[in-house]
C-alpha cells in the first residue's frame, strides 16, 4: 500500500504541475466573452448562460463529477488516519487545492480558447491550448500526456477500498 500511495502522490504532483503550466499558458489568452460564445439553441430554458437549456445542464452533470472524483478518496483516507489532528488539515488543504484547480479549469479553458472551440472535445485541455495558440504546442502535448498518466492510479481504487484485506 505504501508504494502504491507514493506512486499516486507522485502522479498527482506531476498532474498538478501540468495544471499550473496550463493555467500559466492560457491566462494571457483569457477573454470573458469567450465563456459565452455558444449561441443559445431552441431548447427549453436556453439562454446565453445556458445555451443548451435544462437538458444541457443535466447532460453536463456527468462531466462535472470528474472534477470531484478525488474527493471520494478523502473519507477512505480518513478511516486510515493514525493522527487525525495532523492528517485532517492536510486533507482539507488537498480538497481546497482540488476546488481551486477545478475552478481554474472551468474558467481558463473555455475563457482562453472559447467555449465553442472545446464544446465537443473529448480532451478539452489540450484542445483548448491548440485552439488558443493555433496548433500543436509542447504545452498541449505535455498536458495531454500527463493527463493520460493521471489515469494510472484509477485501478488502485480497488486496493484503497479494502479488496485485499
pLDDT over threshold 80, residue 160: no
Tell me how far apart the alpha carbons of residues 3 and 11 are, in angstroms, rounded to a whole number: 12
Compute CA distances 49 → 31, 38, 39, 42, 54, whole Å. Answer: 16, 9, 10, 14, 11
Q: What is the pLDDT, as a whole number, of residue 28?
A: 96
Query: Cβ-count burial of 53 within 10 angstroms (0-12 exposed, 13-18 middle, 19+ buried)?
Result: middle
pLDDT category, 147, cuts 50, 70, 90? confident
Q: What is the pLDDT, as a whole number, of residue 165?
A: 35
pLDDT category, 163, cuts 50, 70, 90? very low
* Mean predicted lDDT score pLDDT of the chain: 81
More confident of the two residues 69 and 108? 108
pLDDT over threshold 80, residue 76: no
pLDDT over threshold 50, residue 157: no
What is the pLDDT averaged over residues 8-37? Answer: 90
Tell me how far apart the alpha carbons of residues 43 and 48 are, in angstroms, rounded to a whole number: 12
pLDDT 10s digits, 129-146: 999 999 999 999 999 998
pLDDT over threshold 60, residue 159: no
pLDDT over threshold 60, residue 156: no
Q: What is the pLDDT, as a whole number, of residue 78?
A: 61
The cell for 145 is: 500526456
- Cα-based angle 132, 135, 138 (whole degrees, multiple of 5): 95
Residues 142 and 24: beta-carbon distance below 8 Å: no
What pTM, to 2 d.p., does this model score?
0.75
Own/partner pairs, 152-157, CB within 8 angstroms, 24+ separation: 152/7, 152/11, 153/7, 153/8, 153/11, 153/12, 156/4, 156/8, 157/73
CA dihedral in degrees (158, 159, 164, 165; nearest 10)? -110
Amino acid at each position: 500500500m505504501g508504494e502504491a500511495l507514493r506512486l499516486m502522490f507522485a502522479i498527482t504532483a506531476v498532474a498538478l504541475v501540468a495544471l499550473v503550466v496550463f493555467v500559466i499558458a492560457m491566462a494571457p489568452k483569457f477573454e470573458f466573452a469567450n465563456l459565452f460564445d455558444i449561441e443559445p439553441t431552441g431548447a427549453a430554458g436556453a439562454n446565453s448562460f445556458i445555451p443548451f437549456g435544462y437538458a444541457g445542464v443535466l447532460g453536463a452533470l456527468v462531466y462535472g463529477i470528474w472534477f470531484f472524483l478525488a474527493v471520494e478518496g478523502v473519507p477512505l483516507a480518513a478511516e486510515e488516519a493514525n493522527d487525525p489532528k495532523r492528517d485532517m488539515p492536510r486533507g482539507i488543504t488537498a480538497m481546497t487545492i482540488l476546488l481551486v484547480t477545478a475552478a481554474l479549469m472551468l474558467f481558463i479553458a473555455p475563457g482562453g480558447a472559447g467555449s465553442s472551440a472545446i464544446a465537443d472535445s473529448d480532451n478539452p485541455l489540450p484542445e483548448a491550448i491548440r485552439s488558443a495558440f493555433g496548433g500543436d504546442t509542447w504545452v498541449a502535448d505535455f498536458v495531454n500526456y500527463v493527463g493520460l498518466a493521471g489515469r494510472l492510479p484509477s485501478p488502485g481504487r480497488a486496493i484503497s477500498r479494502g479488496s485485499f484485506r
